[in-house]
Each structure stands twice: as C-alpha cells, then as structure tokens.
Structure 1
Amino acid sequence: MIMDSRNAEDRAMDGIAPRGRQAQPLSRRSFLVGSAVGLGALGLGGCKTSDGMLTADAAKLYGPVPQEKFPIPAVDVSKVDPKYYRRTVSYASKEAPGTIVVDPGQFYVYRIEGDGTATRYGANVGRDGFRWSGDAYVGRKSEWATWTPPKEMIKRQPEAAKYARGMPGGLDNPLGARTLHLYQNGAYTLYTIYASSDPESIGSGITSGCVGLLSQDMIHLYARTPVKTKVIVLPA
C-alpha cells in the first residue's frame, strides 16, 4: 500500500515553479521545481560517451518525432547525463515480463523483459518530502492528456484559472505526449508516469511524486505497456 499524507492538489501536480527563479508565465516548466543540472556539452560526432554509446546514436535515439499530433523536437542530448540514455541492461527479477519497476533512488525506470534483462530509462522523480513507494498498476493510458489544475492551485496561482476546465494536450501541457495513470484497488492514485520535454530534469527529484521520462522514452514505454500492467515503486 502506498502511504501518502499529502493533499490531492500536491499529489496531482507534476511539480511547481522552480525554486530560486523569477516567476515564469504559466507553462510546462512552471510545474517543475529544482535547479537545472548542467552536464557539459557532448559532441554529436562519432565519439563515445563514458559508458560506450556513440553520441551520434544517442542523438538519433532522441531525435525529433514529427509524425505526432504535436510534433516533438529533438532532445538536446548534451543536457542529459549519458547514464540516463535508454538501454537494455542485465536485470535479475522474478517479476513477469512487462512489469515496470521505478527506482527513484537511482532515477531509473525499468521494463522487465523476462530473459534476465530489462529496458532501462532515465527519469525524474519526486522531490524530498513527495516520494512514495509501493505496488500499483496502470489503470488508464492517455495520449496528449488534458490537465486540470486543482482549485487550491488556482487560488495560489490565479494565472492557472484559465485552465480550470482543463489545459488541452500539447507540448506545454505538464503531462506531455503520453501518460500512464497509476491505480490501486480500482482507485486512481493521482500519480502518473508521464512524458517530459525537459532534458535537464532527468536524474533529478523535482516533481510532486510523479515520474517523468523523456518524451521519446515515454512513447517507447507506452507502446509496450497495456492497461493492468503491474508497477512497483521502490523506496528511495
């Protein structure tokens, strides 16, 4: 059982405005918090990253997705630590193939492949005080989901009032291109695994408990994840 004493507003939000920055117009990044992680420039030629992936291959993996309803731009891979690039890794598990395991302490999400391996994705996770752990399942899936700010948020941030009836899907929507909505015992937990367009957030604890993957990674995971898939969130 996931134990969480926070109110629905905090749990529903994917994040809040960044700390230590001037107020920004309401946008996707307005719902993220924490310092940007500067990771230095990576060349896009034939050089290898520290863990062996060609930087050109990484740029291709995270290239633009123009066929989407809202075309997704390429990720600036220089802003992502190479250890968070999508990979197939050795991963011993007794869980059924397809099971999703979230490891917030390491900023990874794994999809169990059933042959001693897993597909590993880099992630952003809940910030201190907003993390949770336990078992859940994918109760619903959505593409370019509508996001609705809670009344408490509108009271605190009046500029959000224009979305009181829902922010349509799009690149600025906090839920992004794909969303896996997590449930327990038939009830929506208000937690999600969602698509992030902010490469600097990967490897950081910035959200109010939700888990974000780069849009290209989230599309990859979403396509392979049916409703009812088991999700395990490990303690941080």
Structure 2
Amino acid sequence: MIRGLCAAFLCALVVTVAFWSSGASAQSVRFNFNTESRGLDKKFQKQMVAYNGREAPGTIIIDTKNRFLFLVMPGGQAMRYGVGVGRDGFAWSGEATIESKQEWPKWFPPKEMIARDPKLAPYSTGMAGGPENPLGARAMYLYKDGKDTLFRIHGTSQPWSIGQSLSSGCIRLLNEDVIDLYERVNLGTTVVVQ
C-alpha cells in the first residue's frame, strides 16, 4: 500500500516537473489562440505580402486607415497582420520605438481612462496578466524620445475587434498574431503609425 502511494506520488511529481520544464504554462496550454482567426475576414488574417516602401527590414508600419500592421521583411516583402485601432478622438500617428516587451502583461488603466470609465477604478493598481486582461498575451510598449507614449501594440481578449476602430489608441492584434510579432521584433524596433 505505502509502496503504491509512493509510486503514485513519484509519478505525479515527474509529470509535473516534465510539464513545467517543457516551458508550458497553464495559460498557453489551456487557451488555444489558434482558433481566434476563425470567422475573421481573410484580409485581416496574418499573411506575407509584397512591400515596396522605403522603410528598412525590421520596421513596423501601422496603417490605421486600412487596419493593418506590416512588419517589413527582407526581399521586398512584409508580414501583414489585421489590427484594431483607436476610435475617433483616440487615434494617433507618428514614430516611436519599442522599449519594453512583456509576456502576459499586467494592465494599468491610465487615470484618464478611469476618469472616463469609473468601473475601471479597481484596476488602478493593476490587473494580472491572463486571457481576460485587455492587453492579451503580449504587449510591446512604445516610447518617443525616451518617454512612454502610453500606447501599446498588444493582444486582445476581444478577437472580434480586429478590423475595428474602437480602442483607446493602442494597436491590438489577435493573441496568436501578437505572439508571432513579439517573437520577431527586438527592443529598439522602429514603429511608424500612419
């Protein structure tokens, strides 16, 4: 009996250690983001496209009018992702750089957002990362002249918002797409918002 319990405990321990050492996490296993793009207009699904602009490979270009983010690639190509953008009064344009990257980021609504929507006050000290967090699976923080712009490129807990203009200015992607982009870009990446 004791030998059987010890064997069961040892087996459970080995499985747990194997699970965590594989780099898996409860969130990445529990949530299958590969299904987010189902039902999404094909033009907003991630795809390689021709690119003939002047920006160097590695640059991110955000076309807010058409709701696309382009990651310029070598050889006259770009990876194109569908995005959700800022609603009227919250859209922005210009150039920034990615100065921070976070996996399952904690979300802190800015005080201006809380003033517009007092229901967010409980999150003034932050909302833990996870699939219900508005920043989604990854976030890239945009800076201009060394200062945080408070704008982000991030995932979303609302995949239906891709192709829409309804955020508070941030650029949102499907979680599966923001994970892909996050792994392709480095700190210091230039972001051009048009």
- How would you bin the TM-score normalised by the shorter chain? 0.7 to 0.9
Q: Equivalent residue for 2:58?
A: 98
Contact 1:169–1:176 (Cα < 8 Å) also in 2: yes
Which amino acid counterpart does residue 134 of structure 2 have in structure 1? Answer: P
- Greater mean deviation of Cα atoms: 173-182 or 195-204: 195-204
Contact 2:134–2:157 (Cα < 8 Å) also in 1: no
Give 1:166 shift: 1.1
Q: Equivalent residue for 1:73?
A: 32
1-structure distance, mates of 2:117, 2:88: 22
CA spacing shift, 1:73–1:155, aligned 2, 3 Å = same
Q: Equivalent residue for 1:133?
A: 93
Give 1:160 shift: 3.0
Q: Equivalent residue for 1:183?
A: 143
CA spacing shift, 1:155–1:209, aligned 2, 3 Å = closer
- Normalising by the residue count of structure 1, what TM-score does the alignment of the two structures yield? 0.67
Give 1:156 shift: 5.6
Q: Equivalent residue for 2:42?
A: 82
Contact 1:146–1:169 (Cα < 8 Å) also in 2: yes
Give unpaired runs (5+ residues) of structure 1.
1-65
- Normalising by the residue count of structure 2, what TM-score does the alignment of the two structures yield? 0.80
How many residues in Structure 1 have an aligned counterpart in Structure 2? 169
> RMSD of aligned C-alpha atoms?
1.9
2-structure distance, mates of 1:105, 1:156: 25
1-structure distance, mates of 2:118, 2:160: 27
What SS does the corresponding residue of 1:196 show, helix, strand or coil? coil
Give unpaired runs (5+ residues) of structure 2.
1-22
If you compute each CA radius of gyration, which structure gives the higher value, 1 or 2? Answer: 2
Contact 2:140–2:154 (Cα < 8 Å) also in 1: yes
Which amino acid counterpart does residue 88 of structure 1 have in structure 2? Answer: M
Is structure 2 residue 118 aligned with structure 1 residue 123?
A: no
2-structure distance, mates of 1:155, 1:123: 26
1-structure distance, mates of 2:123, 2:134: 12
